[in-house]
A = this chain, B = another copy of it.
Amino acid sequence: MIQNYNSKKLYERLPIYVHFLNSIQESNISSTTISKSLNLGEVQVRKDLALVSGKGRPKIGYSTKNLFKAIKKYMGMNHASKAIIVGFGKLGKALYDYAGFSELGIDIVQAFDISNTTDFVKDIKELDSYCLENEILFGILTVPSTEAQATAEKLIRCGIVGIWNFTSVRLNVPSHVVIQNENLAASLSVLVKSTLDKKVGNDYEKSNETNDSYTSKKH
């Protein structure tokens, strides 16, 4: 594949830029400044921006507004994507209440549970009708792991094609469905192991550095 670079890692960084651009006042911004503010590689930022946006100007940088729009367009953040949460427990509640997703064009429009139903938490039985009526594409799975596979299948039957999976189960789904596993336990383990590596292997700098887990890179 020639120069058609479209990667998961890129997709993770673009929202970070969006959040950053949202937070600044300047009407122009350079890739250099962005890279320093976010602890990312300078070349990497430039490459990312070049891919999604129009030209930048030497000595000036990019128009903040245009850059912002370009990234949002590229990521499909303009038309708000509607998502539902299934499993309104501790984690589901935290995610449901979090305001930061809307900045990225994602609205969590409804929560479902098998028992904790309230005004704004519907019974899981209503899943079908709700999803079909509202054309929901995304589901956030925060049910107990024992219920994970069965619940995922329910979601898929309702037309959901993207599942954010917080359970520890590796779901089995048809090929048209996208799964994003959010394995928090694994993630914490990575931190622990990386930290221990660093503490032990202080002989010379370990070559383990990656953009997201380590700090003080020499950009």
Contact = CB atoms under 8 A, between A and B. Distances in A.
Instruction: Among A11, A12, A90, A104, find the residue whose CB has the most chain B CB atoms closer than 10 A.
Output: A11
Interface string A10-40: 0111111001000000000000000001111
A190 interface: yes
A164 B179 contact: no
Given A90-B93, A91-B94, A215-B173, A106 B189 contact: yes
A45 interface: no
Contact of A178 (B104, B137, B191): B191
* Interface secondary structure of A, over-half rule: mixed
A6 B106 CA distance: 35
Interface stretch (A61-69, A123-131, A206-214): A206-214
A175 interface: yes
Nearest to A11: B190
Interface residues of A, number: 80
B11 A185 contact: no
Contacts of A103: 185
A132 interface: no
A97 interface: yes
A45 to B, nearest CB: 12
B11 A207 contact: no
A214 B170 contact: no
A211 to B, nearest CB: 9
Nearest to A195: B162
B19 A193 contact: no
Given A101-B188, A208-B8, A198 B216 contact: no
A215 B98 CA distance: 28
Interface in A71-111: 75-77, 81, 83, 89-91, 93-95, 97-98, 100-101, 103-106
Given A8-B208, A188-B104, A180 B213 contact: yes
Nearest to A108: B188
A60 interface: no
Contacts of A179: 213-215
A164 B185 contact: no
A175 B11 contact: no
